[in-house]
Amino acid sequence: MQDLVPDKVEVRQQAAETVENINALVGFFNQLDAEDPLIRLITAASVIGISLFLLMVTRLMIGRRRKHLESLPADRFKPLRLQAQDLMSSEDMQKLWSTVWRVVGLGLSFVFGLTAVIGVLMTAQWTLTLAARLIIFVGSILGYLWAGFVGYLPSLFTIFIIVVVMRYVIHLIGLVFDGIRTRRIHLRNFYPEWADTSFGLVKLFIYALTAVIVFPYLPGSSSPAFQGISIFVGVLVSLGSTTAVANVVAGVVITYTRAFSVGDQVELDSVRGRVIERSTFVTRIQTLKNVIVSIPNSMVLSNNVINYSKNLGQSGLLVHTTVTIGYDVPWQTVNDLLVGAARRTEGISANPEPFVLQTSLDDNYVSYELNGWTRKPEDLPKTYSMLHANILDEFHGQKVEITSPAFRAMRDGNASTIAEVIPREEGEAAESDGKEKPSPA
């Protein structure tokens, strides 16, 4: 209760000052009326005439202005655009400017109309008190607005200085990180691909710090209503952005782990393809079928990342495939056939040379693993397909069967099932002629 006493006293003081001002203004009018009643009437008539003249001129000029704006083609107005997105079209901007002029016209009409009403009230003796009240009321409103504006100028100037300093600090830090990204500035154990993410985090921190510093200088920041709205918005953001925050944090962690970069051939969450975008919330991959797949960063972080482009080095990526051949075929022959198939495959390097490993000696066959180097991870499906086709050609051309345990167990002495090898030249000619070539005897 004690806190309310000063407010009541202040209200009473303001009311007393208002009554005193009204009585002083009425006394001034009475003094004019006592000296010469014609002066008050002339003053009232002048106020009425000037107010009505300004009201008519304002209505006429603003009306003509609105008609001119509405008659113009919409393309004469520049749309409000953010990068490539139109926030407001040309038609919307035309309607907006027409509405602005309409509001300005209504405001000026109200002011001049109220001034004319005050002049009318000044013409009669018994309405002088009401005229004085209106004049004091309008004057108090204008005085309050002007005092508030003048009183807020120091805070406004402080906010302006803080914002200007913040912008120059961000610009300076951006130049440093741009130098790191373009490798003009070298920092030990700080990689260039970290520059954009690190600059984004620093910029976010500076924005948050600026908001905290500027907040006390905002008008009404100390009011309970403003604080209540701030708390309500904070609760909504904290409850509704759990997944979004998890994706943002995961995106930052992925950046600093250097698991992959844009352009790498990777396999994420059973999706294989080329990374085309790594944003704050998702990672987008263009698959081998030219399909764009968006994977949330939190899911990327919780799964294994297979990067086919990260460690190419001088040799490249190792392509490998396994075949099973029976014990009746010498291992030297199998090795030669597999290496020959690898050498014929486009995309597999001749240096370092392909090599074969005997990975296991099983009950019915020997497992051979062919290994070759490639520097084209984006063509792996095509490379594997050509490699398998060349292996079939090599083994079938030398009458060597590629068998499985079930097939070997059922062998009863029938003829071999080795497919006949069609030379590539004849196959290509058959495709071009559109006719089937007779098989050689």
Same domain for 330 and 258: no
CA distance 271 to 293: 8
Evaluate if residue 440 carries a pLDDT over 60: no
**Do residues 300 and 280 make contact, with C-beta atoms less than 8 angstroms apart?**
no
Query: 27 and 143, same structural domain?
Result: yes
Residue 8 has pLDDT above 60, yes or no: no
Q: Where are the alpha helices (DSSP H) in 304-350?
A: 331-344
pLDDT of residue 415: 62
How many whole angstroms separate alpha carbon 289 and alpha carbon 278?
A: 20
Count Cα neighbours of 302 within 13 Å in the Cβ-side half-sphere. Answer: 8
Is residue 370 within 8 A of residue 354, CB to CB? The reply is: yes
Of the ranges 51-60, 143-152, 155-164, 311-320, which one carries the lowest mean pLDDT score? 311-320
Same domain, 326 and 303: no
Average the pLDDT over each of 40-44, 145-149, 298-302 and give the range with the smallest value. 40-44
The confidence score (pLDDT) of residue 3 equals 42
* 187 pLDDT above the threshold of 90: no
Q: Is pLDDT larger for residue 131 or for residue 249?
A: 249
63 Cβ neighbours under 8 A, 6+ residues apart: 105
Average pLDDT over residues 150-176: 90
The pTM of the full predicted model, rounded to 2 decimals, is 0.55
Q: Are residues 13 and 74 in the same domain?
A: yes
86 vs 402, residue with greater confidence: 402
Peptide bond into 352 cis (omega under 30): yes
Asked whether residue 362 falls in the same domain as residue 331, the answer is yes
| Domain edge (last residue) among 153, 177, 202 | 153
Question: Coil, strand or helix: which one is 271?
Answer: strand
286 is in which domain, residue-wise? 245-307
φ and ψ of 167, to 5 deg = -65, -40
Within a domain: residue 207?
Answer: no
Residue that has been written with the tokens 């392909």 in this structure: 354
Q: What is the pLDDT of residue 224?
A: 75
Q: Residue 111 pLDDT more than 80? A: yes
The secondary element (H helix, E strand) that includes residue 367 is strand 366-374
- Residue count of the chain, please give it: 441
Percent of the chain with pLDDT over 70: 75
- Give the pLDDT score at 30: 60
Q: 356-400, pLDDT tens digit by residue? A: 999 988 887 888 999 988 888 778 888 889 999 999 988 888 888
Same domain, residue pair 295 and 356: no
Which residue would you say has higher pLDDT here, 51 or 88?
51
pLDDT of residue 327 exceeding 70, the answer is: yes
Instruction: Tell me the one-letter amino acid at 331.
Output: W
pLDDT for residue 425: 59
Catalogue the E-assigned strands of 297-352: 305-307, 317-325
pLDDT of residue 15: 58
Specify the pLDDT at position 170. Answer: 92
Amino acid present at 91:
E
pLDDT band at 438 (very low <50, low <70, confident <90, very high): very low
Is 159 domain-assigned? no
- Residue closest to 163 by CA, chosen among 201, 220, 215: 215
10 and 149 fall within a common domain: yes
Among 118, 153, 188, identify where a domain stops: 153
Q: Which residues of 329-368 are buried (b: 16+ CB within 10 A; e: fewer)?
A: beeeebbebbbbbbebbebbbeeeebebeeeeeeeebbeb
Q: pLDDT tens-digit profile of 395-431?
A: 888 888 776 555 554 556 666 656 566 676 544 444 4
